[in-house]
Structure 1
Amino acid sequence: MDTFKFIHISDLHIGSDPGRLHVWDYLRVVAHEKGYKGVPGLVSDSFYKPTSHDDDIAHKLARFIFENQEDVDLLLVSGDIARTGVPADLSAALAYFEGKHSHQVPFQTGERMPTLAGAGLSLFLLPGNHDRYANDLGVPAGNHFDAIFGRYWDTGIRGTKTALLRHSDADDHLAFIAADFSLRSESECIGVPWFSRWGQGMAGEDTLEELVEKTKDHHEKGHGVVWVCHFPPTEPAEFTLRLNRWSSVISAAKECGVEHIFSGHLHRCGTFEESGIKIICAGSGTAFLERAHGNWVHTITVEVEKTNVRILNKSDFRWNSSRKAFEASV
Structure 2
Amino acid sequence: MFKLIHISDLHFAAGPNKGGFIAAFASNATNERNGRHNQDLADLSAYFIAKNLGDYDCLLISGDIATRGTEADLQVARQYVLAPATQSGGYLSTHNRPTLSYGSRPTVLLPGNHDRFKGPLGEPGSDKFEHAFPNHWKVGLNGVQSVKVVAASGVEVSIISADFTLISKTSASVPGGHFSQGRCIAAILSYLKWVTNTIRKRYPERGIIWVSHFPPPVDSFDIGVYHELIDGDLLLTAARSCSVEYILCGHLHKQGISTYNGVTVIMAGTLCQWPSKNGNWIHALEFVGTGQNLKLSAMNNFLYNSDNVDFGLDVASSF
Structure 1 residues 126-205: aligned runs within 5 Å: 126-155=110-139, 159-167=143-151, 170=154, 172-192=155-175, 195-205=176-186
> Secondary structure of the equivalent of 1:162?
strand
Which residue of structure 1 lines up, in the alignment, with residue 253 of structure 2?
Answer: 267
Shift of 1:248: 0.5
Q: Which runs of 5+ in 2 are unaligned?
A: none
- Whole-angstrom distance in 1 between the partners of 2:235 and 2:21: 32
2:6 is matched with which residue: 5, 8, 18? Answer: 8
Q: Which deviates the most, 87-96 or 265-274?
A: 265-274
Structure 1 residues 262-301: aligned runs within 5 Å: 262-290=248-276, 292-301=277-286
Residues 82 and 93, structure 1, Cα contact 8 Å, conserved in 2: yes
Residues 18 and 32, structure 2, Cα contact 8 Å, conserved in 1: no
Q: Which deviates the most, 230-239 or 132-141?
A: 230-239
Structure 1 residues 103 and 164: alpha-carbon distance in aligned structure 2, compared to 1, 3 A threshold: closer
Is 1:312 matched with 2:297? yes
> Secondary structure of the equivalent of 1:265?
coil
Structure 1 residues 59-138: aligned runs within 5 Å: 59-102=43-86, 106-138=90-122
Which residue of structure 1 lines up, in the alignment, with residue 234 of structure 2?
Answer: 248
One-letter amino acid of the counterpart of residue 214, structure 2: F
Residues 54 and 89, structure 2, Cα contact 8 Å, conserved in 1: no
Shift of 1:49: 11
One-letter amino acid of the counterpart of residue 226, structure 2: T
- Whole-angstrom distance in 1 between the partners of 2:297 and 2:181: 32
Structure 1 residues 207 and 224: alpha-carbon distance in aligned structure 2, compared to 1, 3 A threshold: same
Cα RMSD for the two superposed structures: 2.5
Residues 13 and 77, structure 2, Cα contact 8 Å, conserved in 1: yes
Shift of 1:177: 0.5
- Whole-angstrom distance in 2 between the partners of 1:107 and 1:56: 14
User: Can you list the C-alpha shifts for 1:305-330, whole angstroms capped at 9, x where unaligned?
Assistant: 23221001100000011111111001
Shift of 1:298: 0.6
What's the TM-score once normalised by structure 2's chain length? 0.90
- Whole-angstrom distance in 2 between the partners of 1:226 and 1:91: 28
User: Can you list the C-alpha shifts for 1:118-150, whole angstroms capped at 9, x where unaligned?
Assistant: 354210000000000011211001001111111
Residues 223 and 252, structure 2, Cα contact 8 Å, conserved in 1: no
One-letter amino acid of the counterpart of residue 178, structure 1: S
What is the number of residues matched between the two proteins?
309
Shift of 1:205: 0.4
Which residue of structure 2 lines up, in the alignment, with residue 19 of structure 1?
Answer: 17
Is 1:321 matched with 2:306? yes
Shift of 1:167: 4.7
- Whole-angstrom distance in 2 between the partners of 1:114 and 1:168: 25
Shift of 1:277: 1.0
> Secondary structure of the equivalent of 2:40?
helix
Structure 1 residues 104 and 244: alpha-carbon distance in aligned structure 2, compared to 1, 3 A threshold: closer
Q: Which deviates the most, 306-315 or 151-160?
A: 151-160
Is 1:218 matched with 2:204? no
Q: Which runs of 5+ in 1 are unaligned?
A: 27-41
- Whole-angstrom distance in 2 between the partners of 1:153 and 1:129: 15
- Whole-angstrom distance in 2 between the partners of 1:49 and 1:83: 14
One-letter amino acid of the counterpart of residue 198, structure 2: D
One-letter amino acid of the counterpart of residue 147, structure 1: H
Residues 78 and 128, structure 1, Cα contact 8 Å, conserved in 2: yes
Residues 57 and 106, structure 2, Cα contact 8 Å, conserved in 1: yes
Shift of 1:165: 2.1
One-letter amino acid of the counterpart of residue 9, structure 1: I
One-letter amino acid of the counterpart of residue 187, structure 1: T
